[in-house]
Amino acid sequence: MAVISYIDAVTQALREEMQRDERVFVLGEDVGVRGGVFRATDGLIDTFGPERVLDTPLTESAIAGVSIGASVYGKRPVAEMQFADFILPAVNQIISEAAKMRYRSNNAWNCPLVIRAPYGGGVHGALYHSQSVEKIFTGVPGLKIVMPSTPYDVKGLLKSSIRDEDPVLFFEHKRCYRLIKGEVPEEDYTVPIGKAEVKREGTDVTVISYGLTLHFAQKAAEELEKEGISVHILDLRTLVPLDKEAILEAVAKTGKGLIIHEDNVTGGFGGEISAVIAEEAFFELDAPVRRLCGPDVPSMPYSPSLEKEFMLNPEKVTNAIRDLAEF
């Protein structure tokens, strides 16, 4: 198997799906000749032409709304929001329209579309190029929300998302783009939406995470193994629909749960996970479930000293796991 980067997995998935199904097309700001500001759509316009690789005007509500129209017609649009932070002008189209189209039409119409967006910090992106925005959408029934952490999952889940009959928000951690590499099969494969994955078996503490922090947890687990602390790690991969079964099983393994995400703690999706555990695995718990998340401030500042303070890292994660193990 070839070892490729997280962002190459995006590009490959797009290319292969466009080849497989001519209803698939991509649109967004600078996705054409520029190949995307992160180069996720690099080269697509050469193969598929400007009709299927559309440079749109700088208008996120239109990107979402036009995708909705094209998808009800029967196309399979894959829209790019240049940064997840800039999905906000499109919130009305996504929540009022895409999420409710099937329900409100009693199953007559649906929106098979994907919105991709790079999110997350640690790239000197400051307040508006660093945010995690999943919590704006995780409580909106009708949307699916996918947040992969490895190239394998990126490719397999992006393909599943494009083939899905409902709107999918596909969030890519931009710090992972070139940092994270991994093996990806040559042949066509998919990863099912809605299935978490155990990344590591352990007995002392269960970590539940997704995206960049999942990798911090893996590093921390290696470190802690030397100290004799055994960490069980679950990668959610999909936030909605949530794989509750996998969560409950993972927590039951150790009796201790630590939820980690980069998004700030209050009102973040960690609360939902914690609530599910508290409701359904209460008697399996040997300690209160904990959350390790970004701080409750509006977003990540630009100054390296402040950004570092905001961001999680393997060390902070190691400490939090050790702390819980010692409880």
Ligand X SMILES: Cc1ncc(C[n+]2csc(CCOP(=O)(O)OP(=O)(O)O)c2C)c(N)n1
By CB under 6 A, name the binding residues for ligand X.
Answer: 29, 58, 60, 82, 86, 89
Token pair 């904990």 is found at: 290
In angstroms, the Cα distances linking 326 to 77, 230, 231 are: 49, 12, 13
Distance from C-alpha of 36 to C-alpha of 267, rounded to nearest angstrom: 31
Neighbouring C-alpha atoms within 13 Å toward the C-beta of 23: 13
Give me the torsion for CA of 85, 89, 90, 95, rounded to 10°: 100
Q: Does 242 bind a copy of itself (CB under 8 A)?
A: yes
Least separation in angstroms between residue 206's CB and a copy of itself is 14
Q: Phi and psi dihedrals of 2, rounded to 5?
A: -80, 145
Cβ atoms within 10 A of the Cβ of 315, count? 12
**Residue 119, H or E segment:** strand 114-119
Least separation in angstroms between residue 92's CB and a copy of itself is 4
- Would you give the binding string for a copy of itself spanning residues 199-238, x where CB under 8 A is met? ----------------------------------------
Nearer to other proteins, 127 or 287 (CB): 127
Token pair 């992160």 is found at: 38
Distance from C-alpha of 257 to C-alpha of 50, rounded to nearest angstrom: 48
Question: Which residue in 95, 123, 198, 248 binds a copy of itself (CB under 8 A)?
Answer: 95
Binding window for a copy of itself (CB under 8 A); candidates: 16-24, 44-52, 183-191, 293-301 = 293-301
- Selected catalytic residue, list 129, 173, 215, 261: 129
Residues 127-166 that bind other proteins (CB under 8 A): 127-129, 141-142, 144, 164-166
Nearer to a copy of itself, 3 or 278 (CB): 278
Least separation in angstroms between residue 116's CB and other proteins is 17
Nearer to a copy of itself, 61 or 230 (CB): 61
Active-site annotation holds for 129: yes
Nearer to other proteins, 69 or 267 (CB): 69
- With CB under 5 to 8 Å by kind, the binding choice for 308 among a copy of itself, other proteins, ligand X, none is other proteins
Give the angle subtended at the CA of 151 by the CAs of 162 and 201, to the nearest 5°: 115
Nearer to a copy of itself, 234 or 239 (CB): 239
What DSSP letter does each residue of 47-95 carry, written as one string?
HH-TTTEEE--S-HHHHHHHHHHHHHHT-EEEEE-SSGGGGGGGHHIII
Least separation in angstroms between residue 92's CB and ligand X is 7
Phi-psi region of 39 (alpha: psi -120 to 50; beta: other; left: phi over 0): left
What residues are labeled active site?
129
Sites of contact with a copy of itself (CB under 8 A): 61, 85, 88-89, 91-92, 95-96, 99-100, 103-104, 127-128, 135-136, 138-142, 240, 242, 263-264, 266-272, 274-280, 282-283, 285, 287-291, 296-299
